Copies of this chain bind each other. A is one copy, B any other.
């Protein structure tokens, strides 16, 4: 485990040294927030979604992030084009299936992405991941209402059937590549008081994926880093969500390799 954490700390250093470009095709609610999270962790954001330019833009990227919030059919087409080009070039594709299960548009977009392209990492809540493998879960809009029993099994099943690494975030975050499982206890309840923190978590995972070939370690490292930032932010903000939001960026920028090592609360099973 020490070895894996050391590697994640080195990934964080590598992000900051290489400043990989993270190409986002993402929702309009969190464009600014995820761009800033990208900068804070040390990478460079580019937001571009026109079908006329996504294939050209993704060429320079270290990772491609697809986020299904505020989805339209045109955005799905752009995502497919960009993901196919990313697949060709070996650029990792990270999916945030916001609202999968809530509407047919979002569920079918997810299905199409898995059918027509290779998704390397998916990060969602339990309801969204359940929707992707045809299980039912309680959902309200884009919020999963409760952690499901057996989330580890869901993560494993998702990874095996879809050939990807799966990250399910909740009180405890779960990462699986179908074989390995990581359980992450970093994070803070204040993260639920700010819109788009799930999307930001996916952004941090994408930044790690641009620096780390092992998708399982990238997803785990990203979620540990983001969770620690949330804890640090809450220490300063207390229960105030506006202040917490500001402190979250500060904490992401300030996060050191040493802190990642000393504050990680993760078990590998």
Contacts and interface: CB of A to CB of B under 8 A. Distances in A.
A57 B100 CA distance: 12
A97 interface: no
Contact of A45 (B31, B53, B105, B195): B195
Contact of A193 (B39, B71, B240, B242): B39
B50 A140 contact: no
B32 A196 contact: yes
A196 B39 CA distance: 11
A95 to B, nearest CB: 18
A73 interface: yes
A265 B173 CA distance: 46
Interface in A174-201: 193-196
A52 interface: yes
A221 interface: no
Contact of A242 (B38, B45, B196, B246): B246
A44 interface: yes
Nearest to A240: B250
Contacts of A102: 46, 56-57, 60
A91 B28 CA distance: 25
A239 interface: yes
A53 B105 contact: yes
Interface in A44-64: 44-50, 52-53, 56-57, 60-61
A250 to B, nearest CB: 4
A173 B34 CA distance: 27
A40 interface: yes
Interface in A103-132: 103-106
Given A29-B35, A32-B195, A103 B140 contact: no
A19 B144 CA distance: 13
Contact of A241 (B39, B140, B143): B39
Contact of A50 (B52, B73, B241): B73
B50 A72 contact: yes
